[in-house]
Amino acid sequence: MCGRCACTRGPRGVARACAYRNRSDVVVEPSWVLSSDKGYWPSYNVCPQTYTPVLISGGHSHVVKCGCTDSDRVLQSMKWGLVPSWHKGEPDKFSTLLNNCRSETMLQKPSFRGAISKGQRCVVLADGFYEWETAKPGKQPYFITFADDASSKETVKLSTDNDDFDDDTKKSPFKGRLLTMAGYFDIWRPANGDGDAHFTYTIITVESQKPFSDIHHRMPAILDGDDAISQWLDYEKTPIEKAVEFIHPVDCLKWYPVSTAVNNSRNKSPDCVKEIDPSKPVKKKLPASQPSLFKWMSKSKSPSEKKSHDLSSDDVGMPPTKKEKQ
């Protein structure tokens, strides 16, 4: 599945990393389409119900209305967790969390039928995603991204000049390709016609293969290369029957263990993506809000009792619940 990811580059850096060759064979960067929804904020720990950047075709009607008629693809901030357009009531009252959709059943599910029929396909962007290995005790988290040598299918060489980047992108430890995950988006509008449209998306998942299946039995559907991205987004020329040929497991990824700090979705620090050695004990930090109280408790306890107050990996949170992953 995919229930947590990281996207640490600012809007300018995201656009630069998504540079592509358009139909006139000119290298361009996709424009950002402004919507009534909340904007995107970079984060090392992105969870569902958060706004993140996605790529969509420039042919969609709401994009054309914005005046982006000369763009093959555009960037837009959308909320992770699809709300079907047919939902009656406020979007935040939709009870089912559609963070992911299984590739095997997506064409039959009523929740995705509207988005699929309208060609509302998107590419979800991130530096990488997190997954928890459950085969061993402790649920070790891993960070997964494109492998260092996975640029063979890249058609546009990314610039390493940071002078034109925003501050968030300059601080980001990631400089290569953004991970490109296939998804669907939908647009919920108020029944009475008053109010703003609500843009949400879901990430398509597939059965994983070795060696990634040692960590988890499912993974996001990765679009590896600009041709796959172009055909997935071009709903006018590529019917869904053809587009689904790009939905399959890939072997262009790398992963490494990270701290259980990522278990707590409120932790947005760079520590979330830092590689660790699981065999070495991690020194726990005292909670910043209660140092005095903790010291007082420590002084009042015997050595054996003090040991019982040591922070364990569970104190920093838990991996995503089954409901959150879906």
Backbone angles phi, psi at 313, to 5 degrees: -65, -25
Q: How far is 182 from 101, CA to CA, in rounded Å?
A: 10
Backbone angles phi, psi at 293, to 5 degrees: -65, -40
Kind of pairing, strands 179-188 and 121-126?
antiparallel
Q: Which of 2, 5, 7, 68 is catalytic?
A: 2
- Identify which of 125, 129, 124 has the alpha carbon closest to the alpha carbon of residue 3: 129
Residues 184 and 54 sit within 8 Å (Cβ to Cβ): no
- Identify which of 80, 51, 76, 48 has the alpha carbon closest to the alpha carbon of residue 62: 76
Q: What is the Cα gyration radius of the chain?
A: 21
Q: Which of 7, 66, 68, 131 is catalytic?
A: 131
Per-residue HEC secondary structure of 145-175 comes to: EECCCCCCCCCCCCCCCCCCCCHHHHHCCCC
**131 catalytic, yes or no?**
yes
Per-residue HEC secondary structure of 162-224 comes to: CCCCCHHHHHCCCCCCCEEEEEEEEEECCCCCCCCCEEEEEEEEEECCCCHHHCCCEEECECC
Q: How far is 269 from 261, CA to CA, in rounded Å?
A: 9
Per DSSP, 117 falls in state: H
**2 catalytic, yes or no?**
yes
Backbone angles phi, psi at 95, to 5 degrees: -80, -25
Q: Looking at the annotation, which residues are catalytic?
A: 2, 131
